[in-house]
Amino acid sequence: MGGPETLRSCTEEFLLYLDAVRGLSENSVTAYRNDLSQLTGFLGGDRLISDVTAEDIRSCIGILSKEQKAASTVNRFIAAVRTFFAYCRKFEYIQTNPALEIRTVKMPKHLPRFLTGPEIDELCREPEEHEILWQSRDSAIIEMLYSSGCRVSELASLRFDDMADDYSSAVVTGKGKKDRRVYFEEDARKAFGTYLDDRKKLFADKHMKDTVNRIFVNQQGTALTPHGIGWIIARYSGPEGTNHHISPHALRHTFATAMLSSGADVRVVQELLGHASISTTQRYTHITTERLIDMYNKAHPHGGKDNE
């Protein structure tokens, strides 16, 4: 670097390293950037990296806690800081690593939010029953998210040449830039075909060239972002629609829960979701267990609380 290494200069070099050397996705690099920008904001970008102490890092964590940040947000910040200081130690910008003393905060045990059968059926009907935005597109988005278990970022990045000829599957690029194949059942394929027909007609009527290779676009022909898809789902699950707000990720949770409830092997579901660790997938087995217990208590003659 030349000269004394500051927190800001080391951060920029580290982010470049994540992108160019480690090949992390744009979303991952952005997440690191956001967390480390908080560190530089708290401590000052001109602070010498060698002067940062464990107590400094703990004070940053304390600020996040006072701001009532979720435990998952605080732990993500800690993980980013740990990785950053490990990099600085490796390249000898510091002699000791102050982040080694930092421990993560305790996480509350939350099972992933998922939709019941009637709830997912209601959401899938919403674009047709309440044409809030672009009915055929929005129906295809909901059906394809639920059918495939895709992350919203994976669906937003989907291109025409990623799709199988019969629309039954697609290759998506997940975390770590790993490709995998996901699948679309009949309702999703039908909704997708209807959307493509409407898309061609829309741009023909507007005398616009439909040159965007991304599958999901707005009515001006610009590719949708993950945030844009999240906004669409929010409209249909908000007061104008089902009035039970969900995120796109809840559809991924619903897919996983439905697969495991139907007897799919957990390793198959792991592959379909693109989880690096099977322990991540196994969270959903807790959901199915709780569901079975609930169904048992409701169905068994002696299971109800009011039975004597």
What is the arithmetic mean of pLDDT over 78-90? 95
Higher pLDDT: 58 or 111? It is 58
Residue 125 to residues 129, 155, 180, Cα–Cα distance (Å)? 6, 20, 29
Identified catalytic residue from 137, 189, 199, 275: 275
Identified catalytic residue from 137, 151, 235, 253: 151
pLDDT score recorded for residue 98 = 94
Q: State the chain's mean pLDDT as an integer.
A: 87
pLDDT score recorded for residue 308 = 44
Residue 210 is encoded by which pair of tokens? 């439909």
Identified catalytic residue from 87, 146, 236, 284: 284
- Is there a catalytic annotation at residue 300? no
Identified catalytic residue from 180, 249, 283, 291: 249
3-state class (DSSP) for residue 246: coil
- Is there a catalytic annotation at residue 58? no
Identified catalytic residue from 175, 180, 214, 291: 175
Q: How far apart are CA 149 and CA 274, in angstroms?
A: 9
- Is there a catalytic annotation at residue 275? yes
- pLDDT of 222-252, one tens digit each? 999 999 999 999 999 988 888 888 889 899 9
What is the arithmetic mean of pLDDT over 81-100? 94
pLDDT score recorded for residue 265 = 84
pLDDT at 208 over 60: yes
- pLDDT of 170-179, one tens digit each? 999 888 788 8
What is the arithmetic mean of pLDDT over 153-172? 92
Between helix 7-20 and helix 26-43 the angle, nearest 10°, is 170
pLDDT score recorded for residue 110 = 60
- Is there a catalytic annotation at residue 8? no
pLDDT score recorded for residue 304 = 55
Q: How far apart are CA 57 and CA 42, in angstroms?
A: 9
- Is there a catalytic annotation at residue 82? no
Q: Tell me what percent of the residues of the chain surpass a pLDDT of 90.
A: 56
- Is there a catalytic annotation at residue 32? no
